[in-house]
Structure 1
Amino acid sequence: MNGEDLKRMLREAFDARVFNYGDFNLVYGQPSGAGDPWVIGYRHQPLELLLCPVDLEALPEVPVGPDIATVSLGNVATLADTGSGYQVETVTGFRTWFEVSGTPRILLPENLRPTGPGPEDDGTVTLGQEPDAEDFHEFMSHFMDTLESYYRTC
């Protein structure tokens, strides 16, 4: 498995769980601390983030569940750039910290690692998402600026 294969599986996991999946750009996000990684869907209209946890060990099967966190102007409590990632909190008490890197190195679970003869590797794959990560960081800056201006007028 390579980074493009994993990217395709992550897209399929998101698409299977989100009704209007075509409206969203996607990036891979790694939570700060323990927990499943996020496939993060984001869009400018309406301004919204969908944080979709993905159990890499379950891939290529896609678990269906209500555990997608939606963050929009209607429910966001705080958005903060931590310098190495982001903190997101909603008015319902959902809170997470995560990082989005242009080239995350992801440890593959045993079921996704290549089998048979081949070069020895460390069981990881690099997910190339540099342009997507840059676009996401610009999106988050816009989201935080919009939220700040919203609170200034309230």
Structure 2
Amino acid sequence: MDGDDLKYLLREAFDSQVLNHGDFNLVYGQPSGAGNPWTIGYRRHPLELLLCPVDLEALPGLREDASIATVALGNVATLADTGTGYQVETVTGFRTWFEVSGAPRVPLPENLRDLLAAPRQEPDADSLVLEQESDAEDFHQFMSHFMDTLDSYYDE
């Protein structure tokens, strides 16, 4: 398994949960603190962010109770750049902090290590680096646009 294989599994998990999945770009986000990582879908029209929890131990299957948090202009309460990531809160009380980096190190639970085509001899075979430099850059631009759009409502 390499980063592209993991991206494929994450895309499959997202697509199976989101009806109009083709409208979204995806990035992998790591929580700031404990909790499952996120597959984050985002689109500019309409301006929307979908946070899908990823149970890496359930891949390539899915958790039955996976709930997607939708963040749009109509329900966002707080959207902030923390310097190392983002804080998101909706009017319904959903709140999370996460980071999106260009090369996150993703822990590989045993079920994903078992999917390896050939045994890896590297000392860090229990994780892999997910290359998403251009996707992360695009996501950060999206978040800046989202925050600027939100701020413009308060400037009027």
The alpha-carbon distance between structure 1 residues 116 and 20, as it changes in their structure 2 partners (threshold 3 A), is closer
Residue 82 of structure 1 is matched in structure 2 by 82
CA positional deviation for 1:119: 1.5
TM-score normalised to the size of structure 2? 0.94
Moved more, 112-121 or 69-78: 112-121
Check if 1:129 corresponds to 2:129. Answer: no
- 1:41–1:50: 8 Å Cα contact kept in structure 2? yes
Q: How many residues align?
A: 153
Residue 96 of structure 2 is matched in structure 1 by 96
SS in 1 for 2:57: helix
Residue 109 of structure 2 is matched in structure 1 by 109
The alpha-carbon distance between structure 1 residues 112 and 48, as it changes in their structure 2 partners (threshold 3 A), is same
CA positional deviation for 1:63: 2.6
**d(CA) in 2 for partners of 1:115, 1:131:** 27
In the alignment, structure 2 segments of 5+ residues that lack a partner are none
- 1:17–1:64: 8 Å Cα contact kept in structure 2? no
CA positional deviation for 1:118: 4.2
The alpha-carbon distance between structure 1 residues 17 and 119, as it changes in their structure 2 partners (threshold 3 A), is same
Residue 8 of structure 2 is matched in structure 1 by 8
CA positional deviation for 1:152: 1.8
Post-superposition, which runs of at least 4 consecutive aligned residues in structure 1 deviate over 4 A? Answer: 115-118
The alpha-carbon distance between structure 1 residues 116 and 130, as it changes in their structure 2 partners (threshold 3 A), is closer
CA positional deviation for 1:81: 0.3
User: Quick one: which amino acid aligns to residue 77 of structure 2?
Assistant: A
TM-score normalised to the size of structure 1? 0.95
The alpha-carbon distance between structure 1 residues 150 and 37, as it changes in their structure 2 partners (threshold 3 A), is same
- What is the CA RMSD across the aligned residues, in angstroms? 1.4
